[in-house]
Every structure is written in C-alpha cells, then in structure tokens.
Structure 1
C-alpha cells in the first residue's frame, strides 16, 4: 500500500507546473541524442603521412613532363633584349644631347638559325641606337640590326657569338594550327627572363591595326589569338606548340581603357608570316608586301539592307589610290558619302565578291588572302558593278 501511494504522489508532481515560471522553447526542447549509425557508413581511413619518393619522374604527370622537357630545350634558344633609344631626335633645337645611362626598353626574341640571327618584334627595336642580347645562361652581347618590317611587326638582329650548345627553334606550319590546341609562350614579361606560360589557341585569322601612311593605314593579317599569358616584355618571344616548334611570335595584347597588362587575349604573328618575311629581312633588310591600293568596307546583311545594296556579302571599295594596281585596271571607288555606326563610308564603288574564286565575306579575309601572294603575282577579282558581275585581273605591286 505504501508503494502504491508513493507512485501516485510522483505522478502528481510530474504533472504540475509553477504558474510564476513560464515555459520556454529551450526548456521544452528534447534532449539531444547521437544520430543513428546507418548501415552504409564506413569508418574513416587512418591519416597517413605522405611517403617521400626518390624518383622525380613519378611526381609529374605525362603532360607536366612534356612541358618540363619543352622548357628545358626551347628556353635555351630564347633571349631577353635590352634596347637603348637615343632621345636626341625628340629634343627641341639647341637642346644639349641626352645620353641614356641604361636600357630604355625591353623585349624578347629567339634564335632563328646557327648564324646568330635572332627574330623579335619591330616595335621592340624601333629607334634603338644600341641593342643588347641576354642569353639564358646570363651572358650578354651587343647585337646588330639586320632588317625590320613594321607592316608585319617583325625584325631580325644578329650576334657574333652564341653560347655553346645553343640551337635555333624550328618553325611549325601555322596553317595546321587548330583552335583548342595547347600554346606555350616563353619570354621575359616585366623583365623576368625565361618565363613560361601556358594556354590554348583561342582564335585564328585575326587582324591587327598596323602602321599608318599618308594615305591610310595597313593591317597585320593572319594573326593567332591565344590566352597564354603575354605581358610587356614578352614581345618578340616565341609562341610554341607542345613539340617545341614556333607557331607564332608574340606581338600584342588586348587591354581595357587605361590598362597595360594581360587580360586574357594575346596575339602572335603567325609562323607562316615569319617563314616568308624573315629570310627577306636577312637577305635584303626589308620585305615588300603585295598591295592592291584600295580602302574597303565589309558588307554584311545589315549593311546591305541599310543602303539597298544588291548583295549581302563582300567588300565595298571606298577609295582607289592613283597609280595603284587597282587604279591601273580601272577598279572604281565610292562617290557618295554616308555614315554607318558613326563612321564615314563611301557608297557607289565596286564590290569585290571573290579573289581567285575564293568567296569574300570581309575585308580582313581579303587582306589575309592577298598577304599570302608575292609582289608581281596576278589575282583574279570577281566584282559587282552596276548590277552586273565581271572579273578583273590585277598584278600586285609592292606596298609603298
């Protein structure tokens, strides 16, 4: 009986609450319990310290090994270039000459042949009074300018001695380059010699704005685009494939307004252009580019609809230079001024539809095609004039 009374008293106490102490969510929360062990849970493996290896090859992937071998072989043929530019020509009359006490510019280059010819950019050595080459082993030597071509932004310098075992870099056939393949740049960005960066080929057949003449500007065609990091000081250095062959010469970068550093888009003069221009620079000191002698505007559907043109592709001739190859055969330029996208255009001229039966879709494409010819070559242009198509044979002359 006493046990029954004790149980009843305990039940009453557990059902009572004090009116002066309100219940709280925390007080009402259930007591936490450990989560149940699921049948699929497996015990964690014991922590093990990494084991050192004496074989360095095991530590690298096949791709890394390829890059290491490429760098070890190719970097020996890549040089840093220091230039001294005489500023006296820019001084006002009567001003005493200023002698630079050190380099005023810097770039890169690579050995082209066993005779000591080194390829770099025209803009690296433009205006230089002294050129110094620094080899991969740190040795320096003065170089002589052999030839330079602003229209391809290529130049050749020569040294009289080379480090033992230094071998030239082979040129690839850049016509076989594909978007997506690996691209390796070696040079001296910001003066840091023998720097390797890796990316891919991002685009082909690009065109860069080139030097200007009194009657207009020219373009650098067939340029390779890459996302391999290129910065000031990389100019003139090689862009390589994984076989260590030169597919281009690093020449420019795209930058935002006010910028100067790499932002993901770099450009290289193609090896195809190098193979054509550099031997002429070595032999003659210059290269003659073929010239048609016209200014032109790309025609697309929007442009054609805007001005009521009879075709929606090709290039519209604006100005024909006097005594140029185009002028000699009677190609016609524009006669009416207009504005398109805020820029002036000339309407009424001939429209080039094809070059040697290759359909033309843009001015960049036509410039790239013409650049593959030699001075004195003939090309057949298909043109649209006054609602009719005709063919005109033009003999290409040297660009003035």
Structure 2
C-alpha cells in the first residue's frame, strides 16, 4: 500500500503518545485508597439531631406513609412499599408525600376545598344574606353612582355638541363672527354713522326734525336751510338740538344759511367728534352705488342703499311767500329718502361725502319715497359751507335777468322775460325775448338749468353766453355780478 508521508506537526498533535502502540492505554490509573480521599468534617450534633434520621428503635419517623384517611391515626405497622412510591429512595431523609387534606370524593364540584371553586352567591344572598359586609355594599353603590354620573355627563356633552339632523355629515367650519368685507355696506355704515346727527328744532308753535353731518372737528355740522328754519317759519328764537348715534345730545347754534341752495351750517360743542370727509362729486357716474343715512320720519340712524340715477338734474323748489326759489344742480338717487332724511349725507362706495340729501319727488297724494331722491352735490356743499364758516354768508354769481323755460323746433332753453337795469345781462346786450342756450360749457335747456349754469361761476367772472335771437344764434361775453 502506498501511504503518504505524515506531517510532523499533525503527528505531534494527533499521534499516539510515546510508548503506546494500540488504541487504548495498556495501563489504567489505579483507584486511590479510601483513606487518601479528603473527608468532610463531622456533622454538628445539633444539626444531626434536628435534621438527621430518627433512630430505628425510637418508634418515631419523620417521613411516614399516608394514613388511611384525612385526620386518621397512623398505622405503626405500615411501612413504605413499592405501591406507595416505587421511586422512593430508602436512604433519603424525606420524600414527596400526598396532599395534607385530600379531596372528598363525595363532595359536589362547587364545594369549597383545596384548589376548588366556592359556591357563587345570588343577589338576595348578597343584599340580605349578610354574606357581604355593609361597607363593601355602600362602596359598590358609590362607585356605581360615580360611573353613571360620568356617563351621563359625557352623553350630555355629546348631545349638546352635535345635531341629530347632521350627525352623519361633515359640517363646514364657521367663524365665530360674521365676516364683513371692507367696502361692504355694513363696513361703510359702521364708519359713517357716528358722524351723522339727528337735528331737532323747537319753536313756540311746534317744531320739526331732520338730519346733519359733522364736517369739521371744531363742531361744524352741515344740513339743510329748510331743516333749521322750518322752511323759513322759525326765527332766531328756535331751539336746535343735535343728537348723536351714541346718545349724546348737544345744543346747536346757527352759523349761517344759504336759502338759494338750501344749505345751512350749525355748530355744537363736543369733544373728539367723528368727521366725515368730502369726496369728489364731479367724478360720479350714473349707476354708482350710494348710501343715504339720516332720520326719516324721526327714525334716527337709518341706512338705505341705492345708485346714482341721474346727474346734473336741475331742481327748483320753494319760492313761496316772496322768497327766492331754491335751485341747485342735484344728484338723483333711488336710495330710499323720506321726510327727515333732509340734511343727511349721501356717501359713495368709499364712505366719502358726495351729497347732502335735500328733497324727494312723489306722486300726487303720496308724500313717501317713490325712488326719486335728490341731493346737493358734495363739491357745491363743501364750497358753500366753507364760505359760510369763513364769512357767515354766501354770494352767488348773478346774470341780472329773469327767464322761463321754452321748447320749440328752432330754439330750446331759457327765454329772457325781463332784464334788470344795470345788471350783467343788460351790460352785455342781452334783450327781452332772447333764448339763452349755453352758459360757458354748460348746456341750458330750461330756466332752472340757466340758474345752475350761472352759479357754477364766481361773481366777476366773464363767461360766453350763447343765445338765439330772431332765428339767429350769437355769442355774447357776460361779466357776472353778485346777487
């Protein structure tokens, strides 16, 4: 046989020891002598008497076979045999014995015993059988009440927080307060209303009411002439009171009036008033949104909304009892305006003052609003109010001629009825019978529009006047004078 060489290192690790030729060592080590083994020290006498075996002649054994029955006497002749514990070590000091109290085979399954389950108590036995301590019953009742109250509170909270009709839907989130966008009617009214006042006028024969608007921090209020004078019936003894939206009442005095444009300025002594700013009424267009605020029929702090129905609507009113008629270039609006709104503000969509409500037009037999309200333009009201505050009175440009409205195929305008001697018309060569059709840049279609066109200028201004005379149209230069 061909045997490969053995590696010396492997032979040294796994080879037979020197002098051994077979698989096993021929020389087994000899067992040591009993006397040469180390022995444990002797057991102390106290431990030996307590835990050692009982001598056979004492008649007492620590480990005894089970008795015939529970609590029976021990059979002294009975010894351990293979039937009791076939695996018992006879030399052991103790063995595992049976239970100390064996189960009674005749007892029912529910009877109490070692490892058994006791009989369950019924409700009458618990409450009236005195099987449970009264304190335990009281504690159990208190716990039940607490649990019931907690459940009731949770149910009440759930019922209050939800709606039976919407319990199966997802509700959109809603803010706690209503959102009012800037520029809305509510927003404008909230900012403007504190500057609006109700005006009460009392005289010996009665009184009247109207509205006004605060235009200056010094206490100046602009209103209508017919409000503070009761259409000319009240004299200087009239008592005027301004009532603000916060309930403040203040006595007012008349600063000045302008009967020809139905404007007046009164003054009150108040601290930190809310002032309304003037807007540019010349920039209004038909259809613009407007808001009227005042005291219609005595109902203070009333807000109505509408639009601009027309612009440059010449309006003439009054003129009874020998007084000069009221004439102004009105803003027509369909915002509801009634008696008592007079003198109150007409504001635009920014809350700026663009008119002073002054008049309404109703059908025959109807004194209420039918959607035809008229306001003095804000630019005219601002100019006249500033003049009244500064000078106490207002002077208007005057043509020096009376006219009536005419309309024909060849001429439409204001026909001159008479010319005042030494007036502006006479000086310019305007004669009776001439039909004035244009003053400056303003077209004239009736007598009221002639008055409005002239008052747009200042006394001393020279303006071109276009007129029709005997079928011919000619232009004359007129230097206006003061009324």
Could you tell me which of 139, 149, 161 is aligned with 2:248?
Answer: 139
Q: Which runs of 5+ in 2 are unaligned?
A: 1-164
Q: How far is 1:331 from its partner?
A: 1.5
Task: Look up the match of 2:356.
Answer: 249
Count of residues in Structure 1 that have an aligned counterpart in Structure 2: 311
Larger fraction in strand: 1
Q: CA separation in 2, counterparts of 1:213 and 1:374?
A: 27
Q: How far is 1:393 from its partner?
A: 1.9
Q: CA separation in 2, counterparts of 1:70 and 1:357?
A: 35
Q: How far is 1:197 from its partner?
A: 0.6
- Is contact 1:172–1:271 with CA below 8 Å preserved after alignment? yes
- Helix, strand or coil: the match of 1:368? helix
Give me the TM-score of the superposition, normalised by structure 2: 0.60
Q: How far is 1:294 from its partner?
A: 2.1
Q: CA separation in 2, counterparts of 1:143 and 1:180?
A: 36
Could you tell me which of 178, 198, 213 is aligned with 1:110?
Answer: 213
Task: Look up the match of 2:412.
Answer: 313
Task: Look up the match of 1:69.
Answer: 187
Select the structure of larger CA radius of gyration.
2
Tell me: CA distance 1:257–1:369, structure 2 relative to 1, closer, same or farther (3 Å): same
Tell me: CA distance 1:142–1:67, structure 2 relative to 1, closer, same or farther (3 Å): same
Structure 1 range deviating more: 190-199 or 287-296: 287-296
Q: How far is 1:394 from its partner?
A: 1.6
Give me the TM-score of the superposition, normalised by structure 1: 0.71
Q: CA separation in 1, counterparts of 2:440 and 2:392?
A: 31
Q: How far is 1:200 from its partner?
A: 0.8
Could you tell me which of 197, 219, 222 is aligned with 1:79?
Answer: 197
Tell me: CA distance 1:198–1:319, structure 2 relative to 1, closer, same or farther (3 Å): same
Task: Look up the match of 1:266.
Answer: 373
- Helix, strand or coil: the match of 2:403? strand
- Helix, strand or coil: the match of 2:371? coil
Tell me: CA distance 1:219–1:326, structure 2 relative to 1, closer, same or farther (3 Å): farther
Q: Which runs of 5+ in 1 are unaligned?
A: 1-46, 88-99, 305-310, 334-348
**In the TM superposition, what are the counterparts of 1:121-200 in structure 2 within 5 Å?**
121-126=224-229, 127=234, 129-162=238-271, 164=272, 166-200=273-307
Structure 1 residue 328 corresponds to structure 2 residue 427 = yes
RMSD: 2.5
Q: How far is 1:110 from its partner?
A: 0.7
Structure 1 residue 55 corresponds to structure 2 residue 164 = no
- Helix, strand or coil: the match of 1:82? strand
**In the TM superposition, what are the counterparts of 1:273-292 in structure 2 within 5 Å?**
273-292=380-399
- Is contact 1:121–1:154 with CA below 8 Å preserved after alignment? yes
Q: How far is 1:371 from its partner?
A: 1.6
Tell me: CA distance 1:131–1:206, structure 2 relative to 1, closer, same or farther (3 Å): same
- Is contact 2:440–2:464 with CA below 8 Å preserved after alignment? yes
Q: CA separation in 2, counterparts of 1:184 and 1:290?
A: 32
Q: How far is 1:217 from its partner?
A: 4.9
Task: Look up the match of 2:28.
Answer: none
CA displacement, residues 208-249 of structure 1 (integer Å, 9 cap, x when unaligned): 224438988545221011111111111110000111101100
Q: How far is 1:280 from its partner?
A: 1.0
Q: How far is 1:143 from its partner?
A: 0.7
**Higher RCO (C-alpha 8 Å, min separation 6):** 1
- Is contact 1:207–1:223 with CA below 8 Å preserved after alignment? yes
